[in-house]
Amino acid sequence: MKRVAFKMKLKPGHEAEYKRRHDLIWPELAQALTEAGVSDYSIFLDEETHILFAFQKVAEVNGTERLPTNPIVRKWWDYMADLMEVYPDNAPVSLPLTEVFHMD
């Protein structure tokens, strides 16, 4: 398993709605992520900066490169676009983070 971390940005004032939508995550989206090899997925919010820190484990052999073309993922991005900083196609602005320390 690879550990992957990235950050995104939530628009101020949308914290509760962002959490509510994720509390009700669509089963077909969760299934698409699982089928792509994603597990142990968490998102944390820095309430001071509105930065979302995401962490997930990804299988060594995975299908995550296909997720951006998955219709359910695209639909989720459209659904979440009013809450986050996004690109013109509604993909979240997501910046990878470099791991500098890990301890099991």
Is 50 among the catalytic positions?
no
8 vs 102: CA distance, rounded Å:
21
- The helix-helix angle for 71-80 and 27-35 (nearest 10°) equals 130
Cα 96-32-99 angle, rounded to 5 deg: 20
Kindly name the residue from 14, 22, 50, 102 that is annotated as catalytic: 22
21 vs 43: CA distance, rounded Å:
13
Strand order in the sheet with 51-58: 38-46, 51-58, 2-9, 95-96
Catalytic residue numbers, as ranges? 22
